[in-house]
Amino acid sequence: MQSSNDIAATRDIGIMAHIDAGKTTTTERVLFYTGISHKMGEVHDGNTVMDFMEQEQERGITITSAATTCFWRGHRINLIDTPGHVDFTIEVERSLRVLDGAVAVFDAVAGVQPQTETVWRQAERYRVPRIAFVNKMDRVGATLDRTVEMMKSVLHAHPMVVQIPNGLESAFTGVVDLLMMEEIRWTDDTGTQLTRQPVTEDHEMYTEAVLAREALVESVAEVDDETMTVFLETGAAGVPLDLLKAGLRRATIANKGVAVLCGTALKNKGIQPLLDAVIDYLPSPLDMPPVVARRKADDGEVQRHASLEEPLLALAFKVVHDPHRGPLVFLRVYSGVLKVKDAIQNVTRDRKERVNKLLQVHANKMQEIDEVSAGNIAAAVGLRFTTTGDTVVLATDREQVILPGLEIPEPVIFRAIEVKSTADQAALTEALERMQREDPSFTVRVDPDSGQTLMAGQGELHLEIIVDRIAREARVPTNVGKPQVAYRETVASRLNHPIEYDREIGGKRQYARIVLEVVPRERGAGNSFVNLIPEPVRERGQKLEPPKLLPDMIAAVREGAMDALTRGPLLGYPVVDVEVRLADGGYVEGDSTAVSFRAAATMGLMEAFEKAGPRLLEPVMKVEVEVPEDFTGNVVNDLVGQRRGRVQGMEPLRGLQVIDAEVPLAEMVGYATALRSATQGRASYTMHFSHYAEVPSDRQAEIVTRARGY
Ligand SMILES: Nc1nc2c(ncn2[C@@H]2O[C@H](COP(=O)(O)OP(=O)(O)OP(=O)(O)O)[C@@H](O)[C@H]2O)c(=O)[nH]1
């Protein structure tokens, strides 16, 4: 049974980095020194623990990447994977939502690289406390100062340098720990043996270390009042170790400063102090503000603390497919306790489920556990419906609450996919189903007319990555169509349309007469159907008039109308924001059935849409570009001049401009590349669906002509 001591001794963290800065090597070393992995490999040998896992098919490739648990100094560290791609808000959100802190890995030669900036800003947006590990101190050209300076100038961070390197490049032997004023030297190849030696006056680094320690105390004092008070009284030298450490921790957790460490993961130097810093400075779940959830019953808010006494509240943040165990649902528990065999309520989907097993994932093994409690992370086996972003509580809880969901945006782009050989069809279907469960922003449907399988997602790159995963993981060769924008159709004007349907089918007359009215509605209002035919009323002393249409005929008209709305007249996209009114109708006893009314409505409406000025609607994206000042003009001109964008606002943020714009998705094709080359890779952007808007008429004509092929 866990106690709150255990919560205090937990760290839920991510390791984030620019590609190639050494994230994999650092992670692998962390797992080695924490004693989970006893075999050390290097990336270039292709046998790191992570790579090793890849070969171990039975455990599934991606399991380690969701969350891995290791232990250090009596603390549990849950390493949560942070995505390499920052393009999909949902991917980023789901990992940043569940971690409390992060280690940012830098390359000591390259310093702050463009992608580091992007990742850093994401973390900033979610206020994730960070410590920095300046890696690759052994490389030619490595310095600590460059990265520290760039952290200030480019990232506008407040570095608190807690170590300085002893030697650089191939002469790098270790670091001086400025808190302890100790030289740490690694003395064997595996980096398991290290010596600590006090840096006293006779030490060659003494003067440098004293100055660096003073600078450290000042940098902490600048952002921490308690340290400042003592510093002003006693000077830097008088600030005691425990106070300085506490100040560093407070500053980190408050997101006011970033402790900076250095080393070389590849040469096995610097990892143990990094683990110490994770424990010492990054927050435990108890340090985090309570999560705010919404009561389902009345929309009120409740706060849940990282406490075992409070009711269970957990977030499913990733679903990973395990070939033997089925889907593993990774849960972060915010409050309370979840036990094996507990019946849970998936509040998001309103479904009850049972947890068959709980697993703690380590780098190279999975351990069954009996329970998972507040602040911790585990994978649940046996859940059939729960997917990424869902809130889970105990089925026995009276109060159902829901965490602010990962907003699932409307799919705006789609692509056809087909197998090269029909023998692979089942495998493709299965792979697509799995992807949908893992990633709720990805959907698949079969087009009823063409029979094509259509994948829909958030952007070009999103679908590209999925296609790539299908090729790698499902090993199914496929053909994919070009990405297509998901348009909608609507009508521009109001129209009254009488329809008389009179056919002979199988020697029997089918008759229906209706008058439909098509009325455009406000953008985003959706479709509606209204029956305006008045009920017959009985006049005094007269017989009740027969109704103009019988109830089953009216229902059939509604069905037929809904049918017609699924395919617009221009290009067959769904019709939206239209009200269909049934204004009048008539039938002939014996010759009219529901079937004839349904057909009349569908056919009649299709004609009506053609006549009522059909319009194409396109998805418009909310685009947020973060760009250094010098490039702002170019970026805005491009958005407005070239991409039909509308700038909604601009705001300075940490030395950058944040441009808020609305841009039609069709104009965002290839934007990542264009932005990179226009800004030397220094800008970043996120986009998500905002609304549908009318395509300008000249473009509409162009699109329709092109799509119809004439
Ligand atoms: N010289 C030197 N090379 C290192 C160090 N750490 C990692 N590398 C090398 O840098 C390259 C990238 O390291 P990875 O650990 O794969 O980096 P990553 O950030 O995970 O990169 P991706 O897997 O591409 O995202 C590899 O060739 C490593 O061997 C280091 O401390 N010093």
The predicted-structure confidence for 468-489, as pLDDT tens digits, reads as follows 888 887 788 899 998 888 899 9
Tell me the average pLDDT across 446-450: 78
Residue 44, annotated ligand binder?
Answer: no
Paired with 295 in beta bridges are 401
Q: Which two tokens stand for residue 574?
A: 């769904």
**Between the ranges 74-83, 91-100, 190-199, 248-257, where is the mean pLDDT highest?**
248-257
Closest CA to 263 of 439, 144, 425, 157: 144
Distance 94 CA to ligand 1 centre (A): 25
Residue matched to tokens 């890696």: 135
Atom of ligand 1 nearest to the CA of 84: 25
Residue 526, annotated ligand binder?
Answer: no
Atom of ligand 1 nearest to the CA of 28: 15
Atom of ligand 1 nearest to the CA of 43: 29
pLDDT tens digits for range 620-655: 988 889 899 899 999 999 999 999 999 998 988 777
Nearest residue CA, atom 32 of ligand 1?
136
Strand ranges (E), 440-526: 443-446, 453-457, 478-480, 484-485, 488-491, 495-505, 508-520
pLDDT at 364: 66
Tell me the average pLDDT across 266-284: 96
Residue 267, annotated ligand binder?
Answer: no
Atom of ligand 1 nearest to the CA of 135: 31
* C-beta separation of 282 from 13 below 8 A: yes
* Secondary structure (3-state) at 396: coil
The confidence band for 34, taking pLDDT boundaries of 50, 70 and 90, is confident
Distance 111 CA to ligand 1 centre (A): 14
pLDDT at 55: 35
Atom of ligand 1 nearest to the CA of 105: 19
Q: CA 483 → CA 183, 243, 412, 673, distances in Å?
A: 57, 58, 10, 17
Atom of ligand 1 nearest to the CA of 264: 31
Check whether 367 has a pLDDT greater than 70.
yes
Closest CA to 160 of 236, 238, 214: 214
Check whether 19 has a pLDDT greater than 90.
no
Q: CA 106 → CA 100, 119, 134, 645, 648, distances in Å?
A: 20, 12, 5, 35, 35
Atom of ligand 1 nearest to the CA of 21: 19
Check whether 56 has a pLDDT greater than 50.
no
Closest CA to 665 of 687, 681, 650: 687
pLDDT at 461: 77
Residue 379, annotated ligand binder?
Answer: no
Q: Which two tokens stand for residue 148?
A: 């520290």
Residues with Cβ < 8 Å from 482, sequence gap 6 or more? 415
Distance 44 CA to ligand 1 centre (A): 9
Residue matched to tokens 């090793």: 52
Q: Give the integer Cα–Cα distance in Å for 160 and 245.
A: 11
Distance 107 CA to ligand 1 centre (A): 9
Residue 24, annotated ligand binder?
Answer: yes
Residue 439, annotated ligand binder?
Answer: no
The confidence band for 3, taking pLDDT boundaries of 50, 70 and 90, is low
Check whether 64 has a pLDDT greater than 70.
no
Closest CA to 649 of 610, 622, 686, 672: 622
> Mutation test of ligand 1: which of 18, 25, 113 has the most ligand atoms closer than 8 Å to its C-beta?
25
Q: Which two tokens stand for residue 598?
A: 């349904």
Distance 26 CA to ligand 1 centre (A): 8
Q: To the nearest whole percent, how much of the chain has pLDDT over 90?
A: 57
Q: Which two tokens stand for residue 203?
A: 């030490």
Distance 215 CA to ligand 1 centre (A): 30
Residue 254, annotated ligand binder?
Answer: no
Distance 266 CA to ligand 1 centre (A): 7
Residue 298, annotated ligand binder?
Answer: no
Q: CA 426 → CA 11, 36, 320, 470, 473, distances in Å?
A: 42, 38, 20, 13, 14
* Secondary structure (3-state) at 188: coil
Tell me the average pLDDT across 517-541: 88
Calculate ∠ Cα 366-372-373, nearest 5°.
150
Query: C-alpha dihedral over 486, 119, 390, 77, to 10 degrees?
Result: 160
Check whether 45 has a pLDDT greater than 60.
no
Residue 453, annotated ligand binder?
Answer: no
pLDDT at 230: 95
Q: Which two tokens stand for residue 73?
A: 């100094």
pLDDT at 95: 78
Q: Give the integer Cα–Cα distance in Å for 602 and 557.
A: 8
Distance 83 CA to ligand 1 centre (A): 17
pLDDT at 388: 84
Nearest residue CA, atom 12 of ligand 1?
20
* C-beta separation of 360 from 367 below 8 A: yes
The confidence band for 265, taking pLDDT boundaries of 50, 70 and 90, is very high
pLDDT tens digits for range 120-151: 887 888 889 999 999 999 999 999 999 999 99
Distance 88 CA to ligand 1 centre (A): 24
pLDDT tens digits for range 77-91: 999 877 655 455 566
Check whether 76 has a pLDDT greater than 90.
yes
pTM of the full structure: 0.72
Distance of CA 710 to the CA centre of its chain: 40
Q: Give the integer Cα–Cα distance in Å for 424 and 607.
A: 41
Q: To the nearest whole percent, how much of the chain has pLDDT over 70?
A: 92
Distance 265 CA to ligand 1 centre (A): 8
Calculate ∠ Cα 141-143-149, nearest 5°.
125
Phi, psi of 118 (to 5 degrees): -60, -50
pLDDT tens digits for range 216-260: 999 999 999 999 999 999 999 899 999 999 999 999 999 999 999
Count Cβ atoms below 10 Å from residue 674 Cβ, excluding itself.
Answer: 15
Residues with C-beta less than 6 Å from any ligand 1 atom: 17, 19-25, 42-44, 84, 135-136, 138-139, 264-267
Distance 252 CA to ligand 1 centre (A): 26
Residue 21, annotated ligand binder?
Answer: yes
Entry field: residues in the chain: 710
Residue 613, annotated ligand binder?
Answer: no
Distance 177 CA to ligand 1 centre (A): 24
Residue 85, annotated ligand binder?
Answer: yes
Closest CA to 49 of 60, 33, 38, 59: 38
| Residue predicted with more confidence, 286 or 684 | 286
Distance 577 CA to ligand 1 centre (A): 53
Atom of ligand 1 nearest to the CA of 267: 31
The confidence band for 406, taking pLDDT boundaries of 50, 70 and 90, is low
- How far is the first Cα of the chain from the last one, in angstroms, to the nearest whole number? 71
The confidence band for 164, taking pLDDT boundaries of 50, 70 and 90, is very high
> Mutation test of ligand 1: which of 266, 269, 274 has the most ligand atoms closer than 8 Å to its C-beta?
266
Mean pLDDT computed over every residue of the chain: 87
The 3-state secondary structure of 197-266, one letter per residue: EECCCCCCCHHHHHHHHHHHHHHHHHHCHHHHHHHHHHCHHHCCHHHHHHHHHHHHHCCCCEEEEECECC
Residue matched to tokens 């970026």: 635
Tell me the average pLDDT across 85-100: 70
Residue 84, annotated ligand binder?
Answer: yes
Nearest residue CA, atom 26 of ligand 1?
43
> Mutation test of ligand 1: which of 43, 51, 264 has the most ligand atoms closer than 8 Å to its C-beta?
43
Atom of ligand 1 nearest to the CA of 42: 29
Check whether 1 has a pLDDT greater than 60.
no
pLDDT tens digits for range 173-182: 999 999 999 9
Q: Which two tokens stand for residue 39?
A: 């075999």
Q: Which two tokens stand for residue 119?
A: 């990742």
Structure letter (DSSP) for residue 560: H
The confidence band for 569, taking pLDDT boundaries of 50, 70 and 90, is very high
Tell me the average pLDDT across 110-114: 81
> Mutation test of ligand 1: which of 20, 135, 267 has the most ligand atoms closer than 8 Å to its C-beta?
20
Distance 19 CA to ligand 1 centre (A): 8
